[in-house]
């Protein structure tokens, strides 16, 4: 069976093998409850979300956070530390400035002074988390953006929700991020083709998602052109500028879709050389799609046999 819909500004699809007591209505309700939770906790577009309340909090305020959001922030901060800030959950001022956030698109390039001013408010080191109280300190002017991890988190939660209602064989997709569990009735796993930019060189890669997730960061999805240069939606938090066109897409396979989603963004920012070094050091299954070919990490090559 299959269901589909819209959430978080994108589409979702679920394919599943359902027991007799789990009809489409039950499955849809479980899935939509998950997405409602993610929006209520982590949306930058929903003014009443826990994330937006933190962003609006006065300097010196300690905000108690929902358990899920707090766990996502812990993961994001740990990855920021491991990648030298290539991903940063406090990047919202730059995302908004470049026209990729809730304020909407822009039609010109920000001035250097505006970029520097927004960049001054970015820094994951300023995000102080208190695990005992499940709280975060708002030091003043800190704004969170979890668009590089929230879809993957939603996929993981949806997969758990399906398993909890007895649907152990399923494929969940939200905005291109996927997770597969179990096998289809014919005994085959959930085979998916890794996403590639239009016109990309290199063969199609198929992977079996059996207890595995896949996420792709693609700079061809959202961008604008000005003065002969393309500005992509992936912002380098270290510089304040969108990343260059050197890496059209990065795909990561991981047991956690949340981890794969965040890593795909971080590795896109790091670029093919530093990103591949990171993938090798951490035994990550990664595919870099470059303008003139592809580069697979050793872990991904081993999966292909």
Q: Is residue 28 part of a domain?
A: yes
pLDDT at site 230: 61
What CATH number is given to the structural domain containing 127? 1.10.3980.10
Retrieve residue 89's tokens. 């959950």
How many domains would you assign to the chain? 3
Write the burial class of residue 43 (CB in 10 Å: 0-12 exposed, 13-18 middle, 19+ buried): buried
pLDDT at site 206: 85
Q: Using an 8 Å Cβ cutoff, are 280 and 297 in contact?
A: yes
Q: How far apart are CA 249 and CA 60, in angstroms?
A: 39
Quick one: 27 and 76 in the same domain? no
Q: How far apart are CA 285 and CA 193, in angstroms?
A: 15
114-159: pLDDT as tens digits: 999 999 999 999 999 999 999 999 999 999 999 999 999 999 999 9
State the pTM of this model. 0.93
Q: How far apart are CA 169 and CA 182, in angstroms?
A: 4
Name the band, by pLDDT with cuts 50, 70 and 90, for residue 68.
very high
Q: How far apart are CA 76 and CA 252, in angstroms?
A: 16
Name the band, by pLDDT with cuts 50, 70 and 90, for residue 205.
confident
pLDDT-above-70 percentage for the chain: 92
**Would you give the DSSP letter of residue 233?**
S
pLDDT at site 199: 58
Give me the sign of the Cα torsion angle 17, 22, 28, 34: negative
Q: Using an 8 Å Cβ cutoff, are 154 and 129 in contact?
A: no
Name the band, by pLDDT with cuts 50, 70 and 90, for residue 211.
very high
160-187: pLDDT as tens digits: 999 999 999 999 999 999 999 999 988 9
Q: Is residue 224 part of a domain?
A: yes
Q: How far apart are CA 40 and CA 76, in angstroms?
A: 18
pLDDT at site 300: 94
Looking at the DSSP bridge assignments, the partners of residue 289 are: 249, 294
Domain that holds residue 124: 53-138
pLDDT at site 56: 97
pLDDT at site 112: 96
Q: Is residue 184 part of a domain?
A: no
Q: Which residue has the higher pLDDT, 54 or 186?
A: 54
Which phi and psi (to 5°) does residue 93 adopt? -60, -35
What CATH number is given to the structural domain containing 226? 3.10.520.10
Q: Which residue has the higher pLDDT, 55 or 24?
A: 55
Quick one: 111 and 237 in the same domain? no
Quick one: 195 and 303 in the same domain? yes
Q: Using an 8 Å Cβ cutoff, are 250 and 293 in contact?
A: no
Quick one: 204 and 304 in the same domain? yes
Quick one: 163 and 195 in the same domain? no
Q: Is residue 183 part of a domain?
A: no
82-102: pLDDT as tens digits: 999 999 999 999 999 999 999
Q: Is residue 2 part of a domain?
A: yes
CA 166 to each of CA 19, 21, 108: distance values in angstroms, whole numbers, following the listed order: 7, 9, 51
Mean pLDDT value across the chain: 91
Quick one: 156 and 133 in the same domain? no
Quick one: 249 and 209 in the same domain? yes
| H or E, element range at 289 | strand 285-290
Quick one: 248 and 267 in the same domain? yes
Looking at the DSSP bridge assignments, the partners of residue 287 are: 251, 296
The alpha helices in the chain, defined as continuous H runs, are 24-42, 50-56, 67-82, 92-97, 112-119, 150-164, 257-281, 298-303
Q: Is residue 265 part of a domain?
A: yes
Among 138, 165, 198, give the residue marking a domain's end.
138
Q: What is the mean pLDDT of residues 215-236?
A: 70
Q: How far apart are CA 112 and CA 152, in angstroms?
A: 33
End-to-end CA distance of the chain: 31
Retrieve residue 252's tokens. 């990561």
Q: Does position 201 have pLDDT exceeding 70, yes or no?
A: no
Q: How far apart are CA 150 and CA 23, in angstroms?
A: 27
Write the burial class of residue 63 (CB in 10 Å: 0-12 exposed, 13-18 middle, 19+ buried): middle
Q: Which residue has the higher pLDDT, 118 or 206?
A: 118
38-51: pLDDT as tens digits: 999 999 999 999 99
**Would you give the DSSP letter of residue 139?**
-
Which phi and psi (to 5°) does residue 293 adopt? 150, -165
Quick one: 196 and 302 in the same domain? yes
> In terms of Cα–Cα distance, which of 179, 146, 180, 205 is closest to 257?
179
Q: Is residue 12 part of a domain?
A: yes
Quick one: 264 and 305 in the same domain? yes
Q: Is residue 291 part of a domain?
A: yes
Q: Using an 8 Å Cβ cutoff, are 142 and 126 in contact?
A: yes
Q: Which residue has the higher pLDDT, 280 or 202?
A: 280
Q: How far apart are CA 103 and CA 23, in angstroms?
A: 40
Quick one: 31 and 172 in the same domain? yes
pLDDT at site 258: 98
Quick one: 32 and 172 in the same domain? yes
């Amino acid at each position: 069976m299959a269901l589909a819909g819209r959430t978080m500004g994108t589409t979702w699809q679920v394919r599943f093998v359902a027991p007799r007591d789990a009809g489409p209505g039950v499955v849809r309700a479980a899935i939509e409850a998950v997405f409602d939770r993610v929006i209520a906790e982590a949306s930058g577009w929903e003014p009443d979300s826990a994330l937006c309340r933190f962003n609006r909090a006065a300097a010196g305020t300690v905000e108690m956070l929902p358990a899920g959001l707090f766990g996502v922030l812990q993961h994001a901060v740990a990855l920021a530390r491991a990648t030298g800030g290539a991903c940063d959950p406090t990047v919202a001022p730059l995302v908004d400035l470049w026209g990729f956030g809730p304020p909407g698109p822009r039609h010109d390039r920000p001035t250097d002074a505006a970029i520097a001013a927004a960049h001054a408010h970015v820094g994951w080191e300023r995000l102080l988390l208190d695990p005992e109280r499940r709280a975060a300190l708002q030091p003043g002017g800190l704004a969170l953006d979890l668009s590089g991890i929230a879809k993957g988190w939603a996929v993981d939660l949806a997969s758990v929700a399906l398993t909890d209602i007895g649907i152990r064989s399923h494929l969940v997709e939200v905005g291109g991020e996927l997770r597969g569990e179990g096998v289809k009735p014919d005994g085959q796993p959930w085979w998916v083709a890794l996403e590639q930019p239009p016109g990309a060189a290199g063969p199609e890669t198929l992977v079996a998602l059996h207890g595995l997730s896949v996420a792709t960061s693609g700079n061809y999805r959202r961008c604008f052109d000005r003065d002969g240069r393309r500005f992509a939606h992936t912002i380098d938090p270290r510089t304040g500028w969108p990343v260059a066109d050197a890496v059209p897409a990065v795909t990561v396979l991981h047991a956690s879709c949340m981890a794969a989603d965040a890593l795909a963004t971080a590795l896109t920012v790091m670029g093919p050389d530093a990103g591949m070094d990171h993938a090798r050091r951490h035994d990550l299954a990664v595919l870099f799609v470059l303008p003139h070919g592809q580069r697979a990490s050793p872990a991904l090559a081993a999966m292909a046999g």
